Amino acid sequence: MFKFPNKSFLGLYVKNMDVRKKPAPKFFNSSHHRIDVGKISEGANFVIETLRSSGYDALLVGGCVRDLILQNVPNDFDVVTNAKPRDIIKIFGRKSRAIGRRFRLVHVRSNNEITEVSTFRKTPRSNKIKKKIHKQFKGDNEFGSIADDVFRRDFTINALYFDIEQKVVIDYVGGFCDLLERKLSCIGKPSERFEEDPMRILRAIRFATTLKLSMKDMNLAEFSRYGCMLDNLSSARLFYELEKLFLRGSATELFSRLVQLNLVQFLFPVLDRNKMESLAYNHSINTIKIALQITDSRVKMGQSATLAFLCAVILWGALKIEIEKLRCEITDESVIFRIATENIISNQIKTIAIPRRVSNIMREIWRIQSAFENPTKRNANRLLQNDRLRAGYNFFVLRSKTENHLIHAVDWWRNFFVLANKMNKLPFPESETYRL
């Protein structure tokens, strides 16, 4: 079990400590925090208790501790331990699975929940290793103690550990006070930590925006300069982060912040304001914001939201331009459409690895737009059989907010849906379609 030194350390916190000197941790007990242990998932409790009864240390770490302190519901629970991955697998047997290309982690399944378990790790010692790790951020697999583990984490607020048995928060870097002061601070020098792993730039924006933290220790003017570093990230990691940015209920604010910090074109090269007419750029940004607002309210109401729909909206302006370009060379509209969608998607996936299951939906949403533009009974009956009818129609309604000539067609389809609904022909509740 984790041994706490002298109780007089409780709640003490030294400001401006030099993190390289590995200071002693500060401890915060339930007189300092209001963590409701009832919010900790069954899976995390099971993993921690099992590791402890096998003689290892096991603590909650990272975002879940941060969220518990803030009285928010954590998205997931991460456990850290001094057991090595192979020990963890021995203990949990078939319930566990080693994962991770970047780090060796273990996923432990209990009931329907997966808890991620990592072993205390050190930051790679030599700068040479750090330099090499860019694309995959590999190489950070040297095991260490909790005092080592803390310094490889990104922000002080993400470097808090929680002992569920003694209900104590363990803090080496001042994250507890930063949380109370609503401040986002890097562990170490921001420019070095961002260069080491540029994903931290997006994470910084996400945490500052969603948790309303000040970034005053960071030079925001530098952020657009950091943008080109995002190029060094694996496109699969970026897709995963995109889900966190856009599907957790704060997409509109986050997107605006990315635009404001001049970073959005590093994620979506088609949204480069230097390469677009300002009218077309503003048009695209406004349509995207409307889609994100709708997504946020759906997420907040517990309804489904997909990245396929959002990516279709984000790339739509570029697709239209591409189609126009190809019309100068090719006459067959279906060939034009196929080539244009391939060009746009293949260009985008160089940056963000949009999986095929997602890009197939995007293509279909785009493909059925021409049927919505031509409201006929024949098209309507055909679309009733289409799995993407609702997404395609909602996309069409969204387009009509900036493409005014579509408004009549939207009216036609609305009447059609009301009728189809009365006749029980609509495969989804009519209330789930967007309104003008």
Minimal distance in Å, beta carbon 398 to Mg ion?
A: 31
Determine, following the binding rule CB under 5 A, whether residue 76 of this chain makes contact with Mg ion. yes
Determine, following the binding rule CB under 5 A, whether residue 113 of this chain makes contact with Mg ion. no
Enter the tokens of residue 249: 């209920």
Q: Looking at the DSSP assignment, which residues form a beta bridge with residue 289?
A: none
Q: How far apart are CA 163 and CA 170, in angstroms?
A: 8
Q: Is 273:240 a contact under the CB 8 Å cutoff? A: no
Minimal distance in Å, beta carbon 149 to ligand ATP?
A: 9
How many residues in the chain?
Answer: 436
Minimal distance in Å, beta carbon 360 to ligand ATP?
A: 27
Between 76 and 430, CB nearer to Mg ion: 76
Enter the tokens of residue 78: 């991460």
Enter the tokens of residue 433: 């379609």
Between 148 and 430, CB nearer to ligand ATP: 148
Q: How far apart are CA 241 and CA 203, in angstroms?
A: 8
Q: Looking at the DSSP assignment, which residues form a beta bridge with residue 27?
A: 10, 170
Enter the tokens of residue 144: 């260490």
Minimal distance in Å, beta carbon 162 to Mg ion?
A: 13
Catalytic residue among 76, 87, 140, 148: 76
Between 159 and 318, CB nearer to ligand ATP: 159
Q: How many DSSP H helices and E strands does the chain contain?
A: 20, 8
Q: Looking at the DSSP assignment, which residues form a beta bridge with residue 244?
A: none
Between 154 and 178, CB nearer to ligand ATP: 154
- What x/- string results for residues 39 through 68 when contact with Mg ion is judged by CB under 5 A? ------------------------x-----
Minimal distance in Å, beta carbon 116 to Mg ion?
A: 8
- The interface partner of residue 153, options being Mg ion, ligand ATP, none and the CB cut-off 5 to 8 Å by kind, is ligand ATP
Q: Please state the separation of Cα 409 from the chain's center in Å.
A: 35
Catalytic residue among 57, 67, 149, 154: 154
What does the radius of gyration of the chain's CA atoms come to, in whole angstroms?
A: 25
Closest CB to ligand ATP: residue number:
63
Token pair 């309604």 is at which residue? 397
Q: Looking at the DSSP assignment, which residues form a beta bridge with residue 96?
A: 108
Would residue 76 show up in a list of annotated catalytic residues for this protein? yes
Residues that bind ligand ATP (CB under 6 A): 62-63, 75-76, 78, 153-154, 158-159, 197, 199-200, 244
Catalytic residue among 57, 67, 78, 296: 78
Q: What are phi and psi of 232, to 5 degrees?
A: -80, -5
Size of the site for Mg ion (CB under 5 A): 2
Which residues belong to the active site?
76, 78, 154
Give residues in contact with Mg ion (CB under 5 A).
63, 76
